[in-house]
Each structure stands twice: as C-alpha cells, then as structure tokens.
Structure 1
Amino acid sequence: MSEVILNKLARLHSGKAPRVLDLFAGCGGLSLGFHSKGFEIAGAVELDPHAARSHGMNFHPGLETHAQPVDITSVGPEELAKKLSLGDTDHAIDIIIGGPPCQAFARVGRPKLREVDEHPEAFRHDPRARLYQEYLHYVEAFKPVAVLMENVPDALNHGGQNIAEEICEVLETKGYVAGYTLLNAAYYGVPQMRERMFLLAYRREITDSIVFPKPTHWVQLPPGYEGSRAVALKFLKRGNLIKGAFDYIAPPEATAELIPAVTAFQALGDLPAIFARKELAEGRLTRGARRFDQPVPYGQAIQLSDYARLMRSWSGFEAGNALSDHVIRYLPRDYPLFARLKPGDQYPQAFKQAKVMFQEALEVRAKQGNTIVEDSAEYEALKKSIVPPYDPGKFPNKWRKMWQDAPARTLMAHLGKDSYSHIHYDHDQARTISVREAARLQSFPDGFKFSGTMNPAFRQIGNAVPPLMAKALATQISITLKAFHENEYEQVRATGAL
C-alpha cells in the first residue's frame, strides 16, 4: 500500500474528521448529509453559478473562493486544490462524493438529443455523458479512501452501456472494492419517492465487500416506480445480459414492519398557508421575479410532526422565526382549476375539468345576455383564459396534485420551469408548491439558503440529492470505516500491509 493511503488511514484512525470533496455538487444535498455526520466538507466543484454560490454560502460562509463556479472540464485537480487552499492533491481529501449530471443518462432526454443532432443515437455523444470520466480523473489525483457516486437509474443502461459497471471496473483497477445499487429515498425518511443509482467504493485494504444502508421507513411504491426499476435492471437479468453486472448489489429490503414513510402532510403541514386566489384578488400576488427578501413568519405554533421538527431544528441550519423563500408561482389562470382537482389527478383530468369550467363560463355569460359565438375572437380569448393549451395525449404527466397522506413523487429540475408536477394537496390553497416546500420534500432544513430567485432555487432543489438520503449513506461509510479501524487497522499495520 502506498504511503499516501497509509497517512490518510492513520489520520482517520487518530479521530480526525474525514475530509470530503463534492464533485458536481449542486447546492449541496450530498454535502449536507455528510456534514450532518461530522464529515468536513473541504471543497466542491459545481458549474452552475447559483448552485455554486448556494454551496459556498452554506458550507463556507464568507469565503468567496468556495462560492465560485468551477468547470471540471477545464479546471484540473491540482488547480482546484490550489484555488481552495487544500494543499497537495495526494493528501488533501479522504472521500470523494458527487453525481455527474444525469440528464444525458435519462431516457426522457434522448429524443430531444436525436432531434437536434439528427443522429439515431445522438445521446451517446452528449458530452455530459462523459463527465463521469472527469470524476474518475479526480479520484486518480486525490486518492480518496472511499468514493460515492449518485445518478439516475438509467446509468445502468445508457445506450446499451452499463455506466455504473464500467465505473466499478475502473475503480477496481485503481485498488478499490466497488458496488452499486438502486435506492429509493422514501425508504430513508425523505417525504419523496425518488429512485436513484448509488455507487460505493473503498480502498481494498479497508473492506472486501460493499454494504448499503438498511431502510428505516416503508411505503408501497406505485407501479411506475417498480416499472422504472425493472427497466433499469433489464440488462442485468440472466439471459438478457449485455455486460456482466458483477458489481451490482440488490437493494436492502424495505418491509411493512418498518415505520411508515413520511407523508407530504407531515412534511408541509406546519408551514404557513398561502391562499393563492385570495392573494391574487387582493393584489398581493403579482407577476415578476420572486426574491427571498420578504420573511414569512412560521405563525401560530401547531402540533409538529417529527419530520417538521427536524427541518426546523437541524443543527447549524435553523431558520429562526421566519422563512425567506416561501414563495410561489404566479399562475392566475390555473388557481381555480387546481382547487377542483382531486389528489392524484394528472393533466388529462385537469384538462377535462378545465373544459367543464369553460362551458360553465359560457353558460354564465349566456344567462347574462352575452351569448358567445363559437370560434369567435371572444370565444377563443375566454377559452385561453381557462383551458391550458397542452395536448393531454402528449403531456399526461405534466401536472399532478399531491396526495397528503403519501410521500410526494420525484422532484425534478423541471421545477425551475413550471412546478405543475407538484400541486399542493390543499384545495383551499390551490397552488403549486413554494420553494421552501420543495426544499422540505427534498429534506433540506429550513435554514438552508438558496442563491438566486425562485426559478434557479427550484432547479437547484430538483437536481439535489436529498440530504437525509445522503446522511444514510454517510452513516454507512462511517460504520465501514469504524469497523476497519476497530478490528483490522492494527493487524494490517503490524503485518506491513500498510
């Protein structure tokens, strides 16, 4: 074993906090989970300016160098180490975490790429799909004792390539033991059904097996999630194997004996109500950028769920008495429609209900003596003011009203575009979720700050790894490292293997 790894393991054996470098860090969901377990967030690499500033504000307040965007394709490990005053790359970092951009791996993005590039497999040539190679370059330079990578399930089948398997193979040639699996955040206390691939690796001297954290919560996942997992795993099944999946590990099983998953109501029910139609009528909700400069008091104390209490009291990330980002989208056409939707309704149901509302409006005008002629300019203007323009056959999942008694469906970066995927379950509030509510559904504590205005904040939240999911993984890494230092470190050191 090299002297570099020896020094890192000796440092950790002495009780020092593991130093973490977060690549493709976003605003810091993974970082926050590791920070909560006592890991030191030494630095981060993030290209998006708002996300980079958010990471800096939360983990290195006042240090401008940690709030600057970094392009991993043009800033190498040595330059980053110098920029962040980390020291030489060999000794600066103990653990590397991160998730290369998932858009190139997600099936939903491939048709667009084909269309733009006029190539039947254009998604294979998306440069974002090669960013995991930059990740491995950083691993080679910093020589961490442990590695964690996150990505979408489709990383298991990217144009016939099993990206996760390939990464494991590369890491194994560099002296690591590696494995990957699929985990759903709802099983780990996050009020959201979010399925992702996680890859873990340790220096071979530390362990000869990979263990993922056991679930703490249980929920019956809807068929779509089971189907998504089946699609992701289809090339790993016997008889249909494109590439040997020797490093795939079946997810730890969640059973009904565990405590129920956190629901949307438990996550959001204590937050101040925003009655969109009332605020619109009173002129308090207007068009324009939503900034985070108007604190919203929590309001009268109510019975808090355990989850809400955690979000309010997360050590180092308490919000005080008010929230700064409890703001919503200006959607005047749709508030009355939101109020009529039932929990679970999606766009086809919304479109059907909107047409009913349009007919009702026509009848009201007819009773008032103003019969509107079909296809007239007045008819089309009224229709446009009530009925959304999207084809329900092409956009069946564009809208969804949440259930209050179940975890939310997956939050996506597309929240930064319209937020229709998460319509509040409360009929009286009749709106899409606020920035702070989105953060709650991702398990960001109330005192975590997001740079920018509403749209970039939504995008940061949708792109993030839920901090509680990250905390479960950080806990497992801590357990593995502790077991090595308690049971094997002295013996390995004495035999000279170190």
Structure 2
Amino acid sequence: MTDTIRIIDLFAGPGGLGEGFSAFETDTGSFPFKIVASVEKEESAHKTLTLRAFYRQFRGRKVPDAYYEYLSTNEKVNAEEFFSKKCPEEWAAAKQETLGAPKALGSEDHEEIFSEIERAIEGHSGPKLVIGGPPCQAYSLVGRARNKGIKGYTAEKDDRHFLYQEYLKVLDLVQPDVFVMENVKGLLTAKVNGESIFAKIRKDLQCPARALNSDRDEIEYELIPLAYPLEDLGGLGHFRDKDFVIRAEDFGIPQARHRVILLGVRKKVRKSNIQGELLARWRSEAHLTPGQVLADLPRLRSGLTRCKANDFMSWRNNLYNGFSKVYSALSFSEVAQDNAQRAYESTSEDPGQGGRFIPMSGNRATGMPVWLKNWFKDEAMMGVVNHQARNHMPEDLHRYLFASCYASVNKGASPRSADYPEELAPAHKNWKSGNFVDRFKVQAENRVASTVTSHISKDGHYFIHYDPSQCRSLTVREAARIQTFPDNYFFEGNRTQQYVQVGNAVPPLLASYIAEVVFCILDSAPRE
C-alpha cells in the first residue's frame, strides 16, 4: 500500500489506541498509519495527547534533544512555551492534529470538530480509519452500581449512554474503510428501556447513515470479532456478543483487561488474504506479570499523610512501629515472616519518593522479554518519568507490608478482610460486613495484574506493589508499564490526572496488534 492510512481518533484520552496504530511498522520499515485529527475534551489528557503528537512528528527520523530535555527536568515547564520556541513547525503540526485545544463531541464544539475533521481528510484518496471508544462510565458495572445510588437517576436521561451516536456521526461524515470501537465489557449487559444497548450499537454501526436518518450515502459495514477464526466468517453478522470480547492478557499485555472491541469493515473491502485468527500471531499461553515489567524500575518509598513530618526517618520509624504487628500476623508462614524481616532491614538507606524525572544508572536484572524491552525502552532517555510514590496513611503502610508478604507465600493471592488481625484492621464500621473482603489488593509479582482503571487515582489500595520493602501503591509509570505505554510517553497534569489518563487508556501494545490486522485487511483490499 503506497497511500498513508489517515486516522481520526475520537474520545482519544492520552492517546493509547492512537499510539499503537502510529507505532505500527511494516516489514519494509514504513509507518502506514497517520493520525490527522484527535478529539479529547479533558485538559490534562489533551496536553498529554499534544505532547505525544509532537513526538510523532519525528517518526522515522531522530527525535530532537529538546524532547528529552523537556522530559528530564524536574521543574514546572510549559510545553507550549518550550516547544513553540525550540521546534515551532513540529509543535504547530502537533497542535493542529489535536485541534488546538480540548474539544468535546456532542457539545457546542460540534461544528468546529467536524470542520477540522473534514480539513484533515480533504483531498485524501487513500484509506481512512476511525478509532476510539465513547466514555464508559454509564456502561461499566461499577458505574451502573454507582448510578443506582443517585436519587432520581434514570438511564434514559443519561446522555453518556448515547455518546456512541457522536461516533456514528463521525463515521457518517468520514465514511472510513475500517473503524475500531473499544469499550468496557459491561456494555454487553447495559440496558435502556429494557433494550440491550450493545444490540442497538451493533445494529447502528452496520449502517451509520441509516441509523442517523442521514442524507449521505448508506455505507454498510461488517462487524468482525478480532479473535475469531476467519474460516468461520462466512456467517457474518451472526456472532454472539461475547465473541467481541478481547482478553488482553492473552496477547502479551500484563493485566487481566477484558474489553469489547468492534472491528468494522466496509462490505466492499475484501479480507481474503488474511489467514487464521486475526490476533492469533500474538496469542500466548505464557502471561506476562508485574514482576517482569516492573523489576528494573527504581525502588521508591511512599510518603506519609496526616503526620507532622514526611521524611525518611518518619517513614522508617512508622514502619518499625507496625513491624511487630505484621510479623505476628504472619506467624502462619516462616517464609512470610522472613520476607517482612528482609523488607524492614532493607530500609537502612532512603530510596526516595521519586519525581517527575529520575536518573537511572546501569541496567537492573529483569525477566522482561527482549521484544518487550525494545517496546518500552528508549536509548536516548537517561532516566524514568512519572515515577513518584504517593503519600499514604501510616497505618496503611502496615497493611501494605502485611498484604505484600502474605501474597508472596500464597501464590500471589491477596489477604481477605478475615485474614487481617484486629490490630491491623482499618477503622471502618463495615470492615467485617462482607463488602470489603478485598479492600487491599497486591499486584502480585508472578500473576497477571488486575485491570488498571481510573480508580487507581483514588487511594491506591487495589494497586499495592508486590515488593514488601517499598510499602506503597503503584506509581503512574508502573501503571503505565502494565498498560504497555513506552517509557518515553510523558503524562501531563497533576498526579491524580495522570493516573486517570493511564487507567482509562487502551494498551498501546494491544492497539499495535490490532493495527497490523487492519493494515493486512486494507493492504489486500481493492479500492473502489
């Protein structure tokens, strides 16, 4: 294929899905996918998106030193001021790609967004692609449970249920050869007025113009499950809902992330040259784990909240005060007690809390596969970004130490509320009600991590580091590693905003596999 495939990225977040597509490289060394318009409404995510769009301007050529200079400072630097002076042409192109400012589909920004999209595809005769996933709060199981507690809430009046219609409008405008739509697994069971939302979405996506009563051409699409054997594709349109669920851990992503991914292909685009399962090339029985993807990152300690002092000695003294309680609670296992003892003994030196940028010296031993190391690493970087431990309540550090030691001798399983002794139990009146049995969860060293979600921006209790000596929740960089963001991917905004961005994103590595599928489809397709 000689024509660049132009991409419109909707509800882009920090750009995980777009990153996978833009990073895809063919066997001949070309990068066929080019993002020409990204739409995102949240300000910090938009800043991250723009910075990455700037980085992509140098795809296939040397990234300027200015980019690494920006990453390696621990001072507050305004990216707009910094790059508009050092690389004005590329920064202007990046801003154009992200529409210049945060913009929301389905708002007063509608006309401006559509005008920018039309500009981006004007005169392009090659393939076009639309990607993205409408916000999932209305579809997720957690979101639906939360909505039930809102007085007067009705799904029929929740506009978030219908944001997919904005996606339809863009499909109707762009009329792409292929589209990729991602959402949470809860979409399969969400209902409005007793009607399955997913069934309606599937039907509407098959012909956006018809669903919208548009006066544009009625382009029809086949919806194809990405992990379905192609020899069975003769029955297009008769797939079960669950066939569209992708288990990310089966494809080299170190977390149990199950998402609905719809691949829409125009009916006149042939798929005859693809063999076997669409994603079969990357399917693996050997799941990656946090121990493999986090071990080489610098050790950190947490800080302390609700304390007069937040320094190393205060942290160490607090850990000492809780050590005897933890050690006693681990009496069921000498190995667990030994792990706790070693964890405390390792605190003789302060590893620090990290920061915006941490210099690194040498390569620590790690079980990370070479191919994954090549995906993460950037030889031009001399350190790690977005790697700063948050502060925790002193008593929570004791629970973290207990939980990580417990998991280390229980095949990675975290302790339940009944496993905590009274002296380590939190002062929650409902602690023993059965509603908080897994309030604290360790991301075990040798088990696939649980799904990284935006909830990691809250208290971090569900994302405890497996190393007892660190006694903390995961950093933004560690969560980004589990999400497979490259190490040179910098997240803008405050730390809470960074966590939300990472948790809401599509794993870029998984997106790159989907990109190869899409490229194979388009490369073998005759143009109309």
TM superposition score normalised by structure 1: 0.72
Pairs within 5 Å for 1:231-380:
258-276=284-302, 280-282=311-313, 294-307=356-369, 310=372, 314=376, 320-331=381-392, 332-341=394-403, 342-343=406-407, 344=412, 346=414, 348-349=416-417, 352-353=419-420, 355-357=422-424
- Counterpart residue type for residue 106 of structure 1: S
In 2, are the aligned partners of 1:264 and 1:405 still within 8 Å (CA)?
yes
Q: 2:178 aligns with which of 100, 125, 146?
A: 146
Is 1:56 paired with 2:53?
no
In 1, are the aligned partners of 2:7 and 2:34 still within 8 Å (CA)?
yes
Question: Is the partner of 1:116 in helix, strand or coil?
Answer: coil
Q: 1:136 aligns with which of 156, 168, 171?
A: 168
Question: Is the partner of 2:395 in helix, strand or coil?
Answer: coil
Q: 2:189 aligns with which of 141, 157, 162?
A: 157
Q: In structure 1, what is the equivalent of residue 250 of structure 2? A: 187
How far did residue 43 of structure 1 move? 1.6
Q: In structure 1, what is the equivalent of residue 235 of structure 2? A: none
Summarize deviations over 1:112-142 as a string: whole Å, max 9, x none. Answer: 32332435xx234321110000100011011
- Structure 1: runs of 5+ lacking an equivalent: 1-12, 218-253, 359-385
Structure 2 CA distance for aligned equivalents of residues 416 and 140 of structure 1: 36
How far did residue 68 of structure 1 move? 2.0
How far did residue 17 of structure 1 move? 1.9
In 2, are the aligned partners of 1:346 and 1:398 still within 8 Å (CA)?
no
- Counterpart residue type for residue 196 of structure 1: R
Structure 1 CA distance for aligned equivalents of residues 172 and 277 of structure 2: 24
Question: Is the partner of 2:9 in helix, strand or coil?
Answer: strand
Q: 1:214 aligns with which of 279, 290, 294?
A: 279
Structure 2 CA distance for aligned equivalents of residues 166 and 144 of structure 1: 20
Alpha carbons of structure 1 residues 91 and 73: separation in structure 2 relative to 1, 3 Å? farther
Structure 2 CA distance for aligned equivalents of residues 68 and 41 of structure 1: 16
Q: In structure 2, what is the equivalent of residue 110 of structure 1? A: 144
Summarize deviations over 1:359-414 as a string: whole Å, max 9, x none. Answer: xxxxxxxxxxxxxxxxxxxxxxxxxxx65666352233432112211210111111
In 1, are the aligned partners of 2:248 and 2:258 still within 8 Å (CA)?
yes
Structure 2 CA distance for aligned equivalents of residues 44 and 88 of structure 1: 13
Q: In structure 2, what is the equivalent of residue 483 of structure 1? A: 524
Pairs within 5 Å for 1:19-168:
19-37=6-24, 38=31, 39-60=33-54, 62-63=91-92, 64-65=95-96, 66=98, 68-74=101-107, 79-80=112-113, 82-83=115-116, 86-87=119-120, 91=124, 94-119=128-153, 122-159=154-191, 160-168=194-202
Q: 2:454 aligns with which of 413, 418, 424?
A: 413
How far did residue 420 of structure 1 move? 1.3
Alpha carbons of structure 1 residues 459 and 423: separation in structure 2 relative to 1, 3 Å? same
Sequence identity percentage: 28
Structure 2 CA distance for aligned equivalents of residues 147 and 400 of structure 1: 36
In 1, are the aligned partners of 2:5 and 2:128 still within 8 Å (CA)?
yes
Q: In structure 1, what is the equivalent of residue 491 of structure 2? A: 450
Question: Is the partner of 2:224 in helix, strand or coil?
Answer: strand
State the Cα RMSD in Å: 3.1
Structure 2 CA distance for aligned equivalents of residues 291 and 98 of structure 1: 35
Structure 2 CA distance for aligned equivalents of residues 19 and 292 of structure 1: 39
Alpha carbons of structure 1 residues 31 and 480: separation in structure 2 relative to 1, 3 Å? same
Question: More displaced, 151-160 or 68-77?
Answer: 68-77
Structure 2 CA distance for aligned equivalents of residues 438 and 308 of structure 1: 20
How far did residue 276 of structure 1 move? 3.5
How far did residue 461 of structure 1 move? 0.5
Question: More displaced, 204-213 or 176-185?
Answer: 204-213
How far did residue 353 of structure 1 move? 2.4
Structure 2 CA distance for aligned equivalents of residues 482 and 389 of structure 1: 60
Question: Is the partner of 1:324 in helix, strand or coil?
Answer: strand
Summarize deviations over 1:154-205 as a string: whole Å, max 9, x none. Answer: 2122125443432332232332122341001111111111000000111111
Structure 2 CA distance for aligned equivalents of residues 186 and 397 of structure 1: 22
- Counterpart residue type for residue 420 of structure 2: Q
How far did residue 454 of structure 1 move? 1.0
- Structure 2: runs of 5+ lacking an equivalent: 25-30, 56-90, 208-218, 226-243, 305-309, 317-351
Question: Is the partner of 1:19 in helix, strand or coil?
Answer: strand
Q: In structure 1, what is the equivalent of residue 511 of structure 2? A: 470
- Counterpart residue type for residue 102 of structure 1: C
Question: More displaced, 102-111 or 48-57?
Answer: 102-111
Structure 2 CA distance for aligned equivalents of residues 415 and 194 of structure 1: 14
- Counterpart residue type for residue 303 of structure 1: A
Structure 2 CA distance for aligned equivalents of residues 274 and 473 of structure 1: 35
- Counterpart residue type for residue 313 of structure 2: E
In 2, are the aligned partners of 1:291 and 1:453 still within 8 Å (CA)?
no
In 1, are the aligned partners of 2:6 and 2:121 still within 8 Å (CA)?
no
Structure 1 CA distance for aligned equivalents of residues 380 and 502 of structure 2: 17
Question: Is the partner of 1:282 in helix, strand or coil?
Answer: helix
Alpha carbons of structure 1 residues 87 and 467: separation in structure 2 relative to 1, 3 Å? closer
In 1, are the aligned partners of 2:253 and 2:483 still within 8 Å (CA)?
yes
Q: In structure 2, what is the equivalent of residue 196 of structure 1? A: 259
Is 1:396 paired with 2:457?
no
Pairs within 5 Å for 1:486-497:
489=526
- How many residues align? The count is 400
In 1, are the aligned partners of 2:355 and 2:388 still within 8 Å (CA)?
no
Is 1:429 paired with 2:465?
no
Q: In structure 1, what is the equivalent of residue 79 of structure 2? A: none
In 1, are the aligned partners of 2:104 and 2:110 still within 8 Å (CA)?
no
In 1, are the aligned partners of 2:14 and 2:501 still within 8 Å (CA)?
yes
Alpha carbons of structure 1 residues 319 and 460: separation in structure 2 relative to 1, 3 Å? farther
Question: Is the partner of 1:462 in helix, strand or coil?
Answer: helix
- Counterpart residue type for residue 391 of structure 1: W
Structure 2 CA distance for aligned equivalents of residues 161 and 153 of structure 1: 17
Structure 2 CA distance for aligned equivalents of residues 465 and 46 of structure 1: 14
In 1, are the aligned partners of 2:300 and 2:353 still within 8 Å (CA)?
no
Structure 1 CA distance for aligned equivalents of residues 474 and 397 of structure 2: 12
Q: In structure 2, what is the equivalent of residue 373 of structure 1? A: none
Question: Is the partner of 1:60 in helix, strand or coil?
Answer: helix
